[in-house]
Amino acid sequence: ISPHPYRFNTATSTMALRLASLRSFSRTLNGRQMSTLSHMRSEENFEAVLDKFAEIRACAVLRTATSEACPKAMQAAIDGGFKIVEFTLTTPDCLQHLADFRAKYDGDVMVGCGTILNPDDAARAMDAGSEFIITPVMLPDVIEWCKERNIVCVPGCQTPTEMVNAYRHGAPLQKLFPGVAGGPMWVKAVSSALPFLSINPTSGVDLDNAGDYLKMGAASVGLVAPLFDPEAIASGDFDQIAKNAERVMANVQEAGPYQRKK
């Protein structure tokens, strides 16, 4: 019999509370791990997405006012040679169109989702079949959510400081958005000073200067309005979009593949 029964009981009670607390924490942690695994991708998949960006070096970025125009415009870009495409959440029925194209072109055309503003957006995009995530601005919570799950995130940045911060949070590519004065020469200057960055300009890239951006150090480029001419979409002239795609992809291919920074 313990000569100090009160002390013994107190110690036992304290230990029991600690064990209960640890069990509760363990259940919470396991729940979080299961939630993470629901959108987890393999490291091999992460590398494969980056390899595709390095090989193709151009992404068709579509934003349409109507749901009806979306698949027709994107199909025209693919017919013209694009192998990486991005559907933006500002397009009506974006995720349905994304899912349809992922099912149709899985393994041939890489499909991603843009205008992601928070981790919930990112999760919904991944559920629809997105293979990468694009944000319009530098959002650390989205970048970190993606990094934890081996998902490639390309955040929008306008300054070298934002690009470095995005890189430090885990973004392997940094989207230059909106466009900056100097265009390709700006990319050359920043890439030379900060060679660990992999810059992806979108705004300011057109059918003729896309190759110049790549030759000046850009990892890849995004084509928006110059590819998806609003007047052509409004008039239903999707053949013009296919011709735009052929023209810009010819310029992109002249630059050759990108040497990834690992």
Average pLDDT along the chain, 262 residues, taken 10 residues at a time: 42 44 41 58 98 98 98 98 98 98 98 98 98 98 97 97 98 94 94 97 95 97 98 98 98 96 78
pLDDT at position 249, please?
98
Tokens of 100: 């349809």
pLDDT at position 27, please?
42
Choose among 110, 70, 118, 115: nearest CA to 90. 115
pLDDT at position 108, please?
98
Residue 155 CA, chain-centre distance (Å), reads 7
Tokens of 19: 């064990």
Evaluate whether 190 touches 158 at the Cβ level (below 8 Å).
no
CA distances from 116 to 126, 145, 159, 215 (A): 11, 12, 20, 29
pLDDT at position 261, please?
83
pLDDT at position 96, please?
98
Q: Cα–Cα distance between 136 and 61 in angstroms, integer? A: 12
Burial 101-119 (b: 16+ CB within 10 A, else e): bbeeeeeebbbbbbbbeeb
Binning the chain into helix, strand and coil, the percentages to the nearest 5 are: 55, 10, 35
Evaluate whether 76 touches 245 at the Cβ level (below 8 Å).
yes
